[in-house]
A and B are shown apart, each in its own frame.
Chain A
Amino acid sequence: DAKTTQPDSMESTEGETVHLPCSHATISGNEYIYWYRQVPLQGPEYVTHGLQQNTTNSMAFLAIASDRKSSTLILPHVSLRDAAVYHCILRASSSFSKLVFGQGTSLSVVP
């Protein structure tokens, strides 16, 4: 699985829209971009994923660069519950490939 690069930490204020960047310059054509988040003392939680097109769901908007070498997870109107470590992960399209978690970005949210 190819490597991703994320900032170690970011801070935001409640109600703001947060942009979490991820660089994946060596991504392969069959690799999807996944985002998971993890709060202390809990297991990781799936946020979203995409291949080429931007995607949106109830949790976030995923913007993928046209060359797929970077992506941005956009969290609208963050709350204190959004404080977590956000992991950007590349995963091949084979059915049983594992998730390889790095250090992720620790997002803190202040009132």
Chain B
Amino acid sequence: DMKVTQMPRYLIKRMGENVLLECGQDMSHETMYWYRQDPGLGLQLIYISYDVDSNSEGDIPKGYRVSRKKREHFSLILDSAKTNQTSVYFCASSLSGPFSYEQYFGPGTRLTVL
């Protein structure tokens, strides 16, 4: 069963704390993504990872960093979280090249920064 998992599903943090969001996929996809979704703004791309240790900034990378040490895992890190980083975060994965038409999304992590 093709699946993208995200942990945790819900998280409440205080401003200034560090946050780690984890994403896993069981499809051996090379490419993985982190998006955030806010009301009225649609999905915004934070980072893309093309494979292990091959990451690239998306449209809104400021305040975030990522880590990909294994093909099946992709982490999003918020160092010193801010209240404006309260959002729903989605991880996705896809094949690369001409077969990358479908992105598989995880169920999301709802992060609240107080």
Contacts and interface: CB of A to CB of B under 8 A. Distances in A.
A103 interface: yes
B100 A44 contact: no
A101 B43 CA distance: 5
Interface string A87-111: 1000000011011111110000000
Interface string B28-57: 000101000100101101001010000010
Contact of A45 (B31, B59, B105): B105
A42 interface: yes
A96 B100 contact: yes
A102 B41 CA distance: 7
Contacts of B101: 32, 34, 46, 49
Interface string A36-57: 0000011111100100000000
Interface size class of B (residues with CB under 8 A): 20 to 34
Contacts of A87: 42
B48 A96 contact: yes
Contacts of A49: 101-102
A43 B42 contact: no
Contacts of A99: 43, 45, 103
A98 B63 CA distance: 20
20 contacts: A32-B101, A34-B101, A42-B107, A43-B107, A46-B103, A87-B42, A95-B97, A95-B98, A96-B31, A96-B50, A96-B100, A98-B48, A98-B58, A98-B59, A99-B45, A100-B42, A100-B43, A100-B45, A101-B43, A103-B40
Interface of A: 32, 34, 41-46, 49, 87, 95-96, 98-104
